């Protein structure tokens, strides 16, 4: 029985060392294989490419579409404000012209020469004397 135990112990010891050797040899061969593959290759061309995630593409497209629509909306508002400003400027010019005409008409109606002529036509004359009247309540009390 001790011999069986010795054989089992020897096998287990040998198998462990064989496994580690196999792993080591496997790694070594793998690295050597990579080295052979890399000889003569241009590694600059084989740089890892950054790929855009598929889920990001619809978001970018939607964001671009939203930005384009926002720009179009701003342009439409700008054009609309331009038309409103143009019509406001035209309206202001019309109102200023009307103000000039009304101011000229008021000056014409208040012209002293015109008022004198109109008074003569109505039979009015210039007063000989002017009586100054005090406002009510300003008379002295006895």
Token pair of 50, please? 């950054």
pLDDT of 80 over the 80 cut = yes
pLDDT at residue number 15: 47
CA–CA separation, 81 and 28 (whole Å): 76
pLDDT at residue number 102: 98
Torsion (CA) 21, 26, 28, 29 in degrees, nearest 10? 140
CA–CA separation, 14 and 22 (whole Å): 12
Token pair of 83, please? 């038309």
pLDDT at residue number 77: 97
CA–CA separation, 93 and 100 (whole Å): 11
Q: What are phi and psi of 138, to 5 degrees?
A: -100, 5
CA–CA separation, 85 and 79 (whole Å): 10
* Mean pLDDT across 112-128: 90
pLDDT mean across residues, the chain: 79
pLDDT of 4-53, one tens digit each? 566 555 555 544 444 444 444 455 455 555 666 777 777 777 667 777 78
């Amino acid at each position: 029985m001790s011999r069986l135990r010795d054989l089992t112990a020897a096998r287990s010891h040998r198998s462990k060392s064989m496994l580690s050797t196999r792993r080591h040899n496997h790694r070594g061969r793998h690295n050597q294989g990579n080295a052979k593959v890399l000889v003569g290759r241009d590694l600059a061309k084989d740089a890892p490419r950054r790929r855009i995630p598929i889920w990001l593409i619809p978001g970018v497209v939607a964001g671009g579409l939203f930005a384009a629509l926002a720009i179009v909306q701003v342009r439409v508002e700008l054009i609309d404000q331009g038309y409103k400003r143009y019509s406001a400027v035209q309206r202001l010019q019309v109102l200023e012209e009307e103000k000039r005409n009304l101011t000229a008409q008021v000056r014409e109606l208040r012209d002293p020469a015109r008022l004198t002529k109109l008074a003569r036509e109505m039979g009015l004359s210039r007063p000989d004397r002017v009586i100054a009247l005090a406002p009510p309540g300003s008379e002295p009390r006895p």
